[in-house]
Amino acid sequence: MPKVGFVSLGCPKNLVDSEVMMGILARSGYEITPRAADADVLVVNTCSFIEPARKESVDSILEMAEYKKFGRAQKLIVAGCLVERYRDEIREQIPEVDAVIGTGDVEKILAACEGETVHDSEPSPTFLYHDLTPRILATPLHTAYIKINEGCDHPCAFCIIPQLRGRFRSRRFESVIREAENLAAAGVREINLIGQDTTFYGEDLGLRNGLPLLLERLAAIENLDWIRFLYCYPNRITPKLLDTIAAHERLVKYMDIPLQHASRSVLARMKRGSNADAFLKMLTRIRRTVPGVSLRTSFIVGFPGETEADFRELCGFVREAEFDWMGVFAYSDEETAKSYACDGKIDADTIGRRRDELMAIQQKISQRKLRKKIGKTFTAMLEGPSAETDLVWTARIEGMAPDIDGKIYVTEIAGVNDSSELPSPGTMARIEITEARDYDLIGRAVEVFARPPRPNGLPEPATASSQPFPILA
């Protein structure tokens, strides 16, 4: 069987595309290998939304090209968002690349690997996978992403994602439900719903309140412990959505709402609208309707025309809003974004200073919030041995999303005397917090809950086999 190795870069939406491509190839007899040196075919699924991501993608392609020049690999395929921008340049400038497939051509991965000519798809990607599309999870087997929609119709001036991912399009309601049921039957305990804007789900299908309706149905799936959704658009946080989250235990008390800025004038230049006061009222409404909710957001600093006063307003807003998790991006001047034509560009040093200053404010907030958890006990999902050492496991409370938020380092698991007694990743436990760091916690599992039997009667996977399918490190 030919062996194929995948490098998957960028966001979870791109990871799902890699999982679909792995599924399509595995169904056709390919073996997925974690070692580039063993691969006959190498696939780099790229990211390209800002400069640092583009650089990482080009570096990865060139690294894999070395394996083709000096190793076993016969083919090098480049997929993803970089292709949507630089399809011809990649072909011209990196001769080791045998084929390029865009975000709309995911299903053409087999043809590309087989050396068939892959014709570029229509100008705007339209591909959307469904529950019968083969897919191999690259996440640990107790947690999985489900992409519920693709593309975006918002006009944010700094963003080129609509050019890379196409117009907004939702997956069929029942297809998402069936996929979630299949994943739960396969042992997945946590589902993370993703899309460019999950709060717009179903509108293009004529569904009103599509996301709350979807969440209600997903909350009824027996063997799921946690259902989370990421990437909310701020002006779509409806009372119906909040009431739905509050009404169902399986819907985690967690919201990810990228706000991008808080100054009215900067938000207007970003073509996003709103302002700090409106956002504070929204956060108060969320915290009142969903007690104990954890809130994540992200901001861009250095947008053209951002004055020191605008930045000060953003700092004041962050101090007042007290998010649990926050990301800050330095503005990246993308030539195909509307903001490229804006005046008032800001120098890199000022942008860097503002990013560091805003993160320093959040660091203090995070420390204070996490310290308040010391001595308390929380229900958490055990995730398995930490990347640092097998002696320490990691876990997450429902207020911690995978890959982007902090985690709990578990130094002790009650009732476990040797590795043979270790629970399966994805098992729920009560964890007493003993220490707090800037963004992580330390604790000990004082009680481990038995995992409910899998609906299909299949035995629980032994700890080792719950490792994710191999993506090249």
Question: Which spans of this chain sit near ligand SF4 (rule: CB under 6 A)?
Answer: 152, 154, 156, 159, 161-162, 196-197, 233
Residue identified by tokens 């490792």 is 467
* Least gap, CB of 168 to ligand SF4 (angstroms): 8
Residue number, 136 or 337, with CB nearest to ligand SF4:
337
What span, in angstroms and rounded, lies between the C-alpha atoms of 306 and 313?
11
Residue number, 157 or 365, with CB nearest to ligand SF4:
157
Contact in structure between 426 and 141 (CB atoms under 8 Å): yes
Contact in structure between 71 and 36 (CB atoms under 8 Å): yes
* Least gap, CB of 291 to ligand SF4 (angstroms): 28
* AA letter at 444: R
Residue number, 50 or 156, with CB nearest to ligand SF4:
156
- Helix or strand or coil: residue 266? helix
* Least gap, CB of 154 to ligand SF4 (angstroms): 4
What span, in angstroms and rounded, lies between the C-alpha atoms of 187 and 456?
9
What span, in angstroms and rounded, lies between the C-alpha atoms of 461 and 190?
16
What span, in angstroms and rounded, lies between the C-alpha atoms of 45 and 64?
12
Ranges of beta strands (E only) in 313-427 are: 325-330, 377-385, 393-397, 408-413
Residue 217 has a CB neighbour count (10 Å cut-off) of 15
Residue number, 154 or 369, with CB nearest to ligand SF4:
154
* Least gap, CB of 262 to ligand SF4 (angstroms): 16
* Least gap, CB of 152 to ligand SF4 (angstroms): 3
* Least gap, CB of 180 to ligand SF4 (angstroms): 23
Does an H or E element contain 7, and which?
A: strand 3-8
Tokens of 337: 């974004």
What span, in angstroms and rounded, lies between the C-alpha atoms of 125 and 150?
10
Residue number, 152 or 180, with CB nearest to ligand SF4:
152
Tokens of 462: 């032994």
Residue number, 335 or 388, with CB nearest to ligand SF4:
335
Residue number, 74 or 274, with CB nearest to ligand SF4:
274
Tokens of 205: 């299908």
* Least gap, CB of 87 to ligand SF4 (angstroms): 21
Residue number, 67 or 201, with CB nearest to ligand SF4:
201
* Least gap, CB of 288 to ligand SF4 (angstroms): 26
What span, in angstroms and rounded, lies between the C-alpha atoms of 305 and 318?
20
Contact in structure between 182 and 215 (CB atoms under 8 Å): no
* Least gap, CB of 401 to ligand SF4 (angstroms): 17
Residue number, 275 or 434, with CB nearest to ligand SF4:
275
What span, in angstroms and rounded, lies between the C-alpha atoms of 324 and 365?
8
